[in-house]
Amino acid sequence: MRKENRPYTPDEVAELLQISKHTVYELIKRGELAAFRVGNKMRIEPQDLEAYKRQTKVSAPSSTTSYSTIESRNAIVPSYPSPALRLAGSHDFLIEHMTRFMNVATPALLLHSSYIGSLEGLMMLYRGATDIAAIHLIDPATREYNLPFIQRLFIHEPITVMRLAARTQGFIVAKNNPKNITTWEDLQREDVTFVNRQKGSGTRLLLDAHLAERKIDPQSIQGYEHEEWSHLDTAAWVARGSADVALGIEAAARKVDLSFIPVATEYFDLVIRWTDENKAALTRFCQMVRSAAFKTSLKQLEGYDDEELGNIIYETKSILN
């Protein structure tokens, strides 16, 4: 007898939807079906499955739906028909939460998220392949987040940069930090194995900036070449003892009951590109992000500071009031 509200396995979702398990994993990879990882197993919350079913009922892609393919990790990012909005960029529990919140609270508006890294998300926005990019990119030269990259790319395009949250990055280590890993130099120790994030992710850029500042050779770090694609993936490696440390967000450490040593506070922003086709949907989206209901819903998440939530950080053209 299945317990009520217990998360589904991919096999159970496949049986319920009468599709293959491979298709379930593709839906998760494309960001159409929200999921979380426990060790090396994927699980799907009942409310996320219901949100997916509602999305497909409201806005099922037609036979003429176009798809654009991203080279990175062979991810397939679909171009959904209006009024669906496309978000691409960094993986974050806050983005997962926002996607679920939007799709449940706003029946007339759908948000589809693809987690492909901050830099690739921003480039997709530049190419017009998505409507919103979720990014946290530190400029090594200025130590400023996001704007140096945005201002180099978007000159004539109408964009708005909206602050989502500040969040804490740090070392994710085993419970009680048995190897006493507290500094960047500790990553070079022979008894320490690191697990990295993929090139193009904001976390990878943060790591490389700190290593360069301290003149630490990446090749001196055991595990530097091992790349994973989400904060939960790297935390899982530490949780099962396959690595001693990862650089990631506090929320990931808390989710799998690991210890966390903070090393940096960073800004996580949404970059919005306006077109005649998406203006109405993006306006509703921005209103929802700024709503009291959404801000209240964030209280359940650890490791985030939402004091500046909804603030406009930068615009090339005034769209919002």
Q: Can you give the pLDDT of all 321 residues of the chain as single tens digits?
A: 455 668 899 899 988 988 878 778 878 876 678 887 776 678 888 888 887 787 665 443 333 333 233 333 334 444 444 468 999 999 899 998 999 898 887 767 889 888 889 999 999 999 999 999 999 999 999 999 999 999 999 999 999 999 999 999 999 999 999 999 999 999 999 999 999 999 999 999 999 999 999 999 999 999 999 999 889 899 999 999 999 999 999 999 998 999 999 999 999 999 999 999 999 999 999 999 999 999 999 988 888 999 999 999 999 975 655
pLDDT value at residue 76: 40
Asked if residue 117 lies in contact with residue 198, where contact means CB atoms within 8 angstroms, the answer is yes
Amino acid letter, 10: P
DSSP 83-107: T-EEEEE---HHHHHHHHHHHHH-T
pLDDT value at residue 94: 92
- What is the maximum span of the chain, computed from C-alpha positions, in angstroms? 58
Q: What φ, ψ does residue 134 adopt, rounded to 5°?
A: -105, 115
Asked if residue 106 lies in contact with residue 282, where contact means CB atoms within 8 angstroms, the answer is no
Burial of 123 (0-12, 13-18, 19+ CB in 10 A): buried
Supply the pTM of this predicted model: 0.75
Please tell me the distance from the alpha carbon of residue 86 to that of residue 108, in angstroms, as a whole number: 15
pLDDT value at residue 48: 83
pLDDT value at residue 149: 97
pLDDT value at residue 22: 75
Please tell me the distance from the alpha carbon of residue 242 to that of residue 233, in angstroms, as a whole number: 12
